[in-house]
Amino acid sequence: MIEKVGVIGAGQMGNGIAHVCALSKFDVKLIDINEAQLKKALQTIDTNMSRQVKRGFITEDDHQAALSRIATGQSYELLKDCDFIIEAATEKEEIKKEIMKALCPVLKPEAMLASNTSSISITRLAAATDRPSKFIGMHFMNPVPLMQLVELIRGLATDDETYTAVKTLAEKLGKTTASSEDFPAFIVNRILLPMINEAVYTLYEGVGSVDSIDTAMRLGANHPMGPLELADFIGLDVCLAVMQVLYDGLADSKYRPCPLLVKYVEAGWYGKKVGRGFYDYSGETPIPTR
Ligand SMILES: NC(=O)c1ccc[n+]([C@@H]2O[C@H](COP(=O)([O-])OP(=O)(O)OC[C@H]3O[C@@H](n4cnc5c(N)ncnc54)[C@H](O)[C@@H]3O)[C@@H](O)[C@H]2O)c1
């Protein structure tokens, strides 16, 4: 039975996962290598829960009780009594494997592990742990408190007990699950990211401006956000990492990351989280940059 949840990585996704787990009455331990990021995550959770109070979705008591259930720290030791740990660190296979190696020795033998990776092989990540049968992909969508779906991805060794426990956990968090086989980028990002990459090619080739492309897809395809706005929201570093996994994993040139996306990431223009991507977020309203 899952009662204590560990979350590794306190970025956009980690803070969202901690948020929904704490509101669903799980004890949460949130870990990051970066102390400033932990402080920022707690502030973000506080602000987002306040917004839920204002909208009448939760009470102020729920808000305060949930905040008090979240402990933060930089050491994996904090996770030693957790029943379930979800890794939501930077989308780089080497980083995730290093985390698994360092983490496993401190965990309870029966603790289950998941990765929130957007694209990386669950079977390969599981192989970097001492418990591949208790490892699974649990792919939340961004922003976690608002998005309904959690993709569940079984690795080759994932056992039924782990799958059922994690599905039950997702349902307790109020989410709906969809199962995907363990192929690069699973279902949502296999379909979504090539569309975003194509939008960046459309910009790169001068077919349209940022504003034209986003307006066209919002009003012409009835998408709630334009693809470039969405890319900024996801993080251009994450988008590029997913395209690279698709390109390498499926060995098909149709997944070639757009050179303009590569350039933006090289410039450190990762999107909304750093204040600049295809839009500039330094003012009141986002301004298209091309
Ligand atoms: N951004 C999205 O829309 C989205 C959606 C679904 C899944 N994901 C996946 O979630 C994961 C996190 O993405 P994000 O957007 O939150 O990224 P982010 O850049 O906002 O946060 C990543 C965090 O991981 C931390 N980190 C790096 N190495 C670490 C380590 N060794 N130990 C502990 N913490 C470490 C960083 O300090 C940072 O705070 C990725 O695997 C990503 O693919 C992202």
Q: Ligand 1 atom closest to Cα of 37?
A: 39
For ligand 1, is residue 212 a contact (CB within 6 Å)? no
Question: Which of 7, 8, 12, 85, when mutated, tests ligand 1's pocket best, judged by the most ligand atoms within 8 Å of its CB?
Answer: 12
Identify the band that residue 279 occupies on the pLDDT scale cut at 50, 70 and 90.
Answer: very high
Crossing angle of helices 12-23 and 35-54, rounded to 10°: 50
Q: What is the pLDDT of residue 211?
A: 98
Rounded to two decimals, what is the model's pTM?
Answer: 0.93
Q: Which residues are catalytic?
A: 118, 139, 151, 189
CB 243 within 8 A of CB 197: yes
CB 155 within 8 A of CB 123: yes
Q: What is the pLDDT of residue 271?
A: 97
Q: What is the pLDDT of residue 98?
A: 97
Over residues 78-100, the mean pLDDT reads 97
Q: What is the pLDDT of residue 28?
A: 98
Q: What is the pLDDT of residue 262?
A: 98
Beta strands 84-87 and 4-8, pairing class: parallel
Give CA separation, 152 vs 130, 138, 148, 185, in Å. 21, 5, 13, 12
Contacts of 163 (CB under 8 A, 6+ apart): 136, 152, 154
Q: What is the pLDDT of residue 1?
A: 85
- pLDDT digit string (tens) for 25-56? 999 999 999 999 999 999 999 999 999 999 99
Q: What is the mean pLDDT of the chain?
A: 97
- pLDDT digit string (tens) for 124-138? 999 999 999 999 999
Over residues 215-224, the mean pLDDT reads 98
The helix (run of H) or strand (run of E) holding residue 5 is: strand 4-8
The values of phi and psi at residue 176, to 5°, are: -110, 135
What three-state secondary structure class fits 89?
coil
Q: Which residues pair with 151 in a beta bridge?
A: 139, 178
Q: What is the pLDDT of residue 43?
A: 98
Over residues 209-228, the mean pLDDT reads 98
